[in-house]
Structure 1
Amino acid sequence: MATDIKDIAHAVEATAVMKLLPTRPRLLALGEPTHGEDTLLDLRNEIFRQLVEQEGYRTIAIESDCMMGLVVDDYVTTGTGTLDEVMEHGFSHGWGASAANRELVRRMRAYNDGLPASERLRFAGVDGPLEITGAASPRQALTALHGYLADQVDADLLPCTAEALDRLLGADDRWTDPAAMMDPAKSVGQSAEAGELRLLADDLVALLEAQTPHLLAATSRDDWDRACLYGRTATGLLRYHHWMADTSPARLTRLVGLRDQMMAQNLLALAARGPALVHAHNSHLQRAKSSMRMGGMPLEWWSAGALVSAQLGEAYAFVATALGTIRHQGVDTPPPDTVEGLLYALPDDPCVIDAPRLAATLGATRPAPRVSPWFGYAPLDPAQLGDSEGIVFVKDVAQI
């Protein structure tokens, strides 16, 4: 068995990954089984570098706030701001503290220096402005969309004034109360003001779509793309807040599904722009249903990857990452009867494995599922080996 697996394992290089795919995908999704480990992010950075140099990729997208990501994109494309400012204000979830993320941004800015706009590398966050403890106010996205349209179209076409939006939005801390995540009564998402804002956001997005020919002629494609991002984010956030105020048993399932739906919409917009490497948790990128326990309840929903794959077909490819140890988190050598245990015995580190061929090699009798002693690491599901085009395996994730 080990010899058979060795035959389908290769050094982790962009060319080896591409050989696993029937065509060059518009979205190459590289998952990770845990967050915050620079060993995995350094590997991601190297794969992106090779995709840029060998395969013509120009965009990297990560699981971070899509609105904050605009700060990073402005810096890497035009030099706006400083690297320190960008790392502080351009990432959510604390990702700005990562040395590997800092090095990614620094290298992208250096690469772009002096290049024409069409050849520059781009950065995107694909997550909504959402944290585990709640969601942002829709103010930034709504007012940015309104401002873009107000500058370009007849005022009579706008569904409201900027002052009316400001009045309906009220104080931002009404929207961001962390208690609302677990207590629907603390959410303002189903207030009369929130309901009116949902209608106005819908009208603003409809106006943006109706004026597309004029807007593309009057502004840049990038400006229009950003306005579309503002629209997706505003409507997505208002929808998310609405369901935060829900009291039905499906509340949490709906919320995790809405988050991935926002991610999927951002990914589809990136796919329309050109080939991109996407990096996020395996559970957000896999084609199979995702699952977790939250608030003591088992939740199942379709991930962003499943939603995007359903629309893009072969233009979407998913490569999962698996690992052997994270000893500083109590994750030690995997049992030999697990998928990770079989891969841990391979000589190459890191390596990429043809996932469908691995599934065929193992046959109907799949290895035992690995049990993680740490909540922050999700092992591979042996039943889902055929879900991805490949598996990147890293033996030992060291504390950096």
Structure 2
Amino acid sequence: MFNDTVEGMITALETLLADRNPTLLALGEPTHGVAAFTTLRNEFLYHLVEQHGYRSVALESDCLAGRLVDAYVTTGEGDRQAVLTAGFSHGFGNLQGNRDLVEWLRDFNAGQRPADRVRFHGIDAPTEITGGDSPRGVLLELHRFLSAHLDHVPGDVATIEKLVGDDEEWTTEAAMWDPTKSKGDSADAGALRLLTDDLVALLEKEKPGLPEGGDLLARTAQGLLRYHAVVADPAPTRISLMLGQRDAMMAANLLALPRTFVFAHNGHLQRNLSTGQGFGPAWRWWSAGAQVARHLGDRYTFIAGELGASETQPDPDPATLQGYLASVVPDRALVATAGLDPELAARTDAVQGYSPFSDVTGADAIAFLRRV
């Protein structure tokens, strides 16, 4: 029943692919920074590229910064260390698994025709836990993109610069905890949103005659301004709204990709409602996976990543989902959720930073690692 090696997991992956033939194949992780999950992701990707013709990989990292990584792995443009530093958000360029991935993609692409190269994509919003980026950069880039190809583009650089003002007013960490510190609902922010709508409308009308690249800028500019508006919202549910806006941006980026293998936290990829608790009301928002699944249906396949124990996480209670998997999987396995009891509850002894997968109906399979 269980495949206790990486090779066995790939065999199980073959079965899953044969049954589903997904447009978007997602692998999650329950916590960031664990080498075992990025290593497994890389093994899956190498197999998908070499045996199934996948030519697109997406990670939970800044969608705009990811263009630096894509340029490096497809054309060799850029300095490796600079790309790892600036091309990933959340410090993910420091992870050995991501460094290995970048080098493998570059080596593989070096021998391929342009159409056969594996493209790299970031799917995340340009935000961190401490705040979001200023909209200055993406708005100026969108305006320059349109101005390079079209006449009579709404607004101008001076207007954008004036309305944006001081970047610190957008990026200040204080706004995460106090909505009155945010510029997101100011008159200038409202004017920027109207101007952005005009720029995006122009892009849509002229798209047949424009090169690629504008859609990502348009999505990000609109989404980032919406995010800042939510940051400024004093509603008790503002954290849920912020999380939901971030995942809505992820979903839009995923839906714009071709056949792709994506890797992110389980909470962003599961088909059901995501929840969390920090302070104030419990957080509830629809994940990017839930939004994508609404559009793609069975063409979206999600494998949740899960662990049994680690140096900081003890063995799970046998009565939990994680405990059951640990009792039947000696090392590692890709387990179809269709054969699991949906009443099994998630463990409740998780250390900070680790979110136990809690609902088997939200995934098609679980990549379970007994100890990491």
| TM-score band w.r.t. shorter chain | over 0.9
**Which one of 212, 217, 240 corresponds to residue 253 of structure 1?**
240
Report the CA distance shift for 1:170/1:93 in structure 2 as closer, same or farther (over 3 A). Answer: same
Supply the distance in 2 between the matched residues of 1:348 and 1:276 (Cα, whole angstroms): 31
> How far is the alpha carbon of 1:348 from its aligned partner?
4.9
* Pairs within 5 Å for 1:2-17: 7=1, 9=3, 11-12=5-6, 13-17=9-13
SS in 2 for 1:142: helix
* Pairs within 5 Å for 1:384-395: 384-395=359-370
Residues 286-313 of structure 1: CA deviation (Å, up to 9, x unaligned): 0110000132320111100000000011
Matched, 1:49 2:33: no
| Contact map agreement 2:3 2:12 (CA 8 A) in 1 | no
One-letter identity of the residue aligned with 2:349: S
SS in 2 for 1:175: helix
Q: Which residue does 1:3 correspond to in 2?
A: none
SS in 2 for 1:335: coil
* Pairs within 5 Å for 1:33-72: 33-72=30-69
> How far is the alpha carbon of 1:387 from its aligned partner?
2.2
Matched, 1:214 2:209: yes
| Contact map agreement 1:17 1:390 (CA 8 A) in 2 | no
Q: Which residue does 2:303 correspond to in 1?
A: 319
| Contact map agreement 1:79 1:109 (CA 8 A) in 2 | yes
Report the CA distance shift for 1:106/1:120 in structure 2 as closer, same or farther (over 3 A). Answer: same
Q: Which residue does 1:353 correspond to in 2?
A: 335
Residues 200-252 of structure 1: CA deviation (Å, up to 9, x unaligned): 1111111111001111xxx3xxxx2x211111111001011111111122322
TM-score normalized by structure 2? Answer: 0.95
> How far is the alpha carbon of 1:20 from its aligned partner?
2.4
> How far is the alpha carbon of 1:11 from its aligned partner?
4.5
Q: Which residue does 1:287 correspond to in 2?
A: 271
| Contact map agreement 2:303 2:367 (CA 8 A) in 1 | yes
Residues 7-29 of structure 1: CA deviation (Å, up to 9, x unaligned): 25564444422412533211101
| Contact map agreement 2:237 2:283 (CA 8 A) in 1 | no
| Contact map agreement 1:323 1:394 (CA 8 A) in 2 | yes
> How far is the alpha carbon of 1:368 from its aligned partner?
4.2
Which range moves more in the overlay, 88-97 or 246-255? Answer: 246-255
Q: Which residue does 1:182 correspond to in 2?
A: 177
| Contact map agreement 1:76 1:112 (CA 8 A) in 2 | yes
Residues 267-299 of structure 1: CA deviation (Å, up to 9, x unaligned): 0011xxx21111111111001100001323201
Supply the distance in 1 between the matched residues of 2:4 and 2:314 (Cα, whole angstroms): 24
> How far is the alpha carbon of 1:174 from its aligned partner?
1.6
Q: Which residue does 1:341 correspond to in 2?
A: 323
Supply the distance in 2 between the matched residues of 1:373 and 1:386 (Cα, whole angstroms): 21
**Which one of 355, 361, 365 corresponds to residue 378 of structure 1?**
355
Aligned residues: 369
Residues 34-83 of structure 1: CA deviation (Å, up to 9, x unaligned): 11111110111111000111111111111111111111011001111121
Q: Which residue does 1:369 correspond to in 2?
A: 346
Residues 114-138 of structure 1: CA deviation (Å, up to 9, x unaligned): 4211100111111100111110011
One-letter identity of the residue aligned with 2:351: W
Matched, 1:192 2:187: yes
Q: Which residue does 1:4 correspond to in 2?
A: none
Supply the distance in 2 between the matched residues of 1:11 and 1:191 (Cα, whole angstroms): 55
Q: Which residue does 2:221 correspond to in 1?
A: 234
| Contact map agreement 1:322 1:380 (CA 8 A) in 2 | yes
What is the alpha-carbon root mean square deviation over aligned residues? 1.5
Supply the distance in 2 between the matched residues of 1:128 and 1:343 (Cα, whole angstroms): 34
Matched, 1:130 2:117: no
Supply the distance in 2 between the matched residues of 1:302 and 1:379 (Cα, whole angstroms): 17
**Which one of 16, 20, 29 corresponds to residue 20 of structure 1?**
16
Q: Which residue does 1:140 correspond to in 2?
A: 137
One-letter identity of the residue aligned with 1:91: F
Supply the distance in 2 between the matched residues of 1:252 and 1:293 (Cα, whole angstroms): 10
| Contact map agreement 2:20 2:301 (CA 8 A) in 1 | no
| Contact map agreement 1:144 1:227 (CA 8 A) in 2 | no
SS in 2 for 1:31: strand
**Which one of 69, 79, 91 corresponds to residue 88 of structure 2?**
91
> How far is the alpha carbon of 1:166 from its aligned partner?
1.5
Supply the distance in 2 between the matched residues of 1:287 and 1:368 (Cα, whole angstroms): 17
| Contact map agreement 1:325 1:395 (CA 8 A) in 2 | yes
Which range moves more in the overlay, 205-214 or 12-21? Answer: 12-21
Supply the distance in 1 between the matched residues of 2:260 and 2:47 (Cα, whole angstroms): 13
Supply the distance in 1 between the matched residues of 2:221 and 2:113 (Cα, whole angstroms): 32
TM-score normalized by structure 1? Answer: 0.89
| Contact map agreement 2:28 2:303 (CA 8 A) in 1 | yes
| Contact map agreement 2:4 2:331 (CA 8 A) in 1 | no
Supply the distance in 2 between the matched residues of 1:66 and 1:25 (Cα, whole angstroms): 22
